Amino acid sequence: MAYPYCSECKGTKAMCGQDHCPLLADVRGRASLPKLSGRSLQGPSPPSVFVGRFGYPRITIGPLASPAPLPMAERLEDPSFLNALGLEEVYSIRSSLVRGRSRLDVRTAKADPLGGSEPLMEVEDRLGIGKRRILSSIQEMSMSSRSMDAEMISRKDLKVMAPIPSLDMIMMPMGPSIDMLTLKVIDNPRIPRPVDRAVSDTDMIANEGVLELYREGIREEHISRLFSVGLLGGGRRRRLVPTRWSITAVDDTLSKQLKERALGLTPLDCYHLYSCSSFGNHFLIALYPPPFRFEMAEQWQKGSLWGEGDVIHDWEGPRGRTGYADAITGAYYAARLSTVDHLLSIGRNAGATVIRWITDEYWAPLGVWVIREALRKAFLTPPRLFNDRASLIQAIDASCGIRNWRRSTRFLGPLEDMTLDRYI
């Protein structure tokens, strides 16, 4: 049963008072989980790693690997590949990846040899040689652009481990987890030169490293992986960052810095409207003359994962946000990055409104990459052009899946409410 606040909670805030979201429990029951036995698991990793957030600053970290052969496993981290599949296929494949877990303090990232900041003996004294090797192996996998075979030795027989897949609105789905005693990487990594430079530069701050990697063509998924395992930033300031946080942090950091470039571009002098759909997520994206401002409105509709909920909304003016977009959360930053990217590609400064409505087709959360890739797909198509704001609003009225959508927008709301204080 879905409650009115489910679309706001999204299984993360326990607003219903239950320890585990019952709606996500239903979705977990549809996963195609691998059959495990023995204490050893060996198989390909995309590569993919996961850093948990519970227990912070002592969190769990480990790789994701499949117990069965996966041809071209690196595609399981590639949104452009996943976007071409059906939702059930994406969920099934991603749920087959088993997650290893080893508990570490977030500050130990600066002590690893790959961080280059402390002598080896100090590292061994702090972590223990087994923990150090696990962390080094995870960091090595994170740098690679191709799949790698890994072997994990569990603390107990794998067949008695709880086969519970991990689901989250921001991250890609994952399969069951195992507690690792040891981790061995069998293949050699293929490390892109920009990644090698950024990881080796222990004087470069993390924000600069994120932007430099993006400019060099490194995908967001790879950048957030490096960031989460403590391979970016000043050597002694490096930290392990929970995967959920690192994805949003990378989207936020990139879109903020790219927005500054967009502010100096030629103003958009008309109105653009784009549309697209992906996995039951439907979008309308409106661009209009400056000043730059950005907003996103979202509604989970009847029969969708979180049931029918109110329209939620987050926004910012030309000066940006002063706090986290806690209504829409990570999807807001993913949408903003794709939008700012597009403004740079067309050489225009503009305001933007993103409207998203989610239907029953989206029965399992796949992560914010769905939003990022959907908007990029939309921006590859020619927009509908309008000479005035009224025509744009009329076109949105004709195709929007949210009733009374204007009540939930700040920059395309009723004309009588459009005053200068709405832009700051």
What pLDDT, on a 0 to 100 scale, did the predictor assign at position 161? 58
DSSP for residue 173: P
Q: Which residues pair with 385 in a beta bridge?
A: 272
Percent of the chain at pLDDT > 70 equals 89
Q: What is the pLDDT of residue 220?
A: 96
Question: What's the pLDDT at 236?
Answer: 86
What are the φ/ψ torsions at residue 321 (nearest 5 degrees)?
A: -90, 150
Contacts of 100 (CB under 8 A, 6+ apart): 41, 62, 63, 64, 65, 152, 177, 178, 179, 180, 183
Start-to-end CA span in the chain (Å): 40
Q: What is the pTM of this model?
A: 0.91
Query: In the predicted model, is pLDDT for residue 250 greater than 70?
Result: yes
CB count in 10 Å sphere of residue 196 = 11
Whether residue 117 has pLDDT greater than 50: no
Identify which of 361, 21, 17, 304 has the alpha carbon closest to the alpha carbon of residue 166. Answer: 21
Instruction: Classify the C-alpha dihedral 108-45-334-254 as positive or negative.
Output: positive
pLDDT tens, residue by residue, 385-403: 999 999 999 999 999 999 9
If you average pLDDT over residues 39-57, what whole number do you get? 93
d(CA 10, CA 329): 10
* DSSP character at residue 396: H
Mean pLDDT is highest, among 127-136, 149-158, 235-244, for: 235-244
Task: List residues bridging with 179 in a β-sheet.
Answer: 101
Beta strands 351-358; 281-288: pairing state = antiparallel
Q: What number of other Cβ atoms are within 10 A of residue 85's Cβ?
A: 14
| Res 200: pLDDT | 94
pLDDT confidence tier of residue 118, bands split at 50, 70 and 90:
very low
The residue type at 148: M
- Mean of pLDDT values over 49-71: 92
pLDDT score, position 160: 54
What are the DSSP E strand ranges found in 351-421?
Answer: 351-358, 384-386
Confidence of residue 156 (pLDDT cuts 50, 70, 90): confident
What is the phi/psi pair of residue 288, to 5°?
Answer: -150, 165
CA 357 to chain centre: 19
pLDDT at 115: 44
Backbone angles phi, psi at 196, to 5 degrees: -60, -40
Residue 333 pLDDT exceeds 80: yes
Rounded distance, CA 207 to CA 356, Å? 29
Question: What backbone torsions phi and psi does residue 85 show, to the nearest 5 degrees?
Answer: -95, 170
The model's pLDDT over 354-389, given as tens digits with 9 standing for 90+, comes to 999 999 999 999 999 999 999 999 999 999 999 999
- Check pLDDT > 60 for residue 424: no
Return the SS3 of 351: strand
pLDDT band at 2 (very low <50, low <70, confident <90, very high): low
* Residue pLDDT, tens place only, 199-224: 999 999 999 999 999 999 999 999 99
Whether residue 297 is predicted with pLDDT greater than 90 in this model: the reply is yes
pLDDT of amino acid 249: 97
Helix (H) or strand (E) holding 228: helix 220-228
If pLDDT is split at 50, 70 and 90, which confidence band does 9 have? Answer: confident
Q: What per-residue confidence (pLDDT) applies to 50? A: 95
Does position 423 have pLDDT exceeding 60, yes or no? Answer: no
Instruction: Using the predicted structure, report yes or no on whether residue 285 has a pLDDT greater than 80.
Output: yes
**What's residue 158's pLDDT?**
79
Element of type H or E holding 331: helix 330-346
Residue pLDDT, tens place only, 175-195: 888 899 999 998 899 999 999
Q: Residue 413 has what pLDDT?
A: 85
In this predicted structure, the answer to whether residue 263 has a pLDDT above a threshold of 90 is yes
Six token digits for residue 143: 């740098």
- Model pLDDT, residue 129: 59
Is 328's pLDDT higher than 90?
Answer: yes
Q: Higher-confidence residue: 32 or 334?
A: 334
Distance between CA 314 and CA 331 in Å, rounded? Answer: 10
CB 101 within 8 A of CB 62: yes
Residue 268 confidence (pLDDT) above 70: yes
Buried-state track 46-84, b at ≥16 Cβ within 10 A, e below 16: bbbbbbbeeeeeebbbbbbbbbeebeebbbbbbbeebbe
- Mean pLDDT along residues 57-66: 94
**Mean pLDDT across 276-296:** 97
Q: How many CB atoms lie under 10 A from the CB of residue 261? A: 12
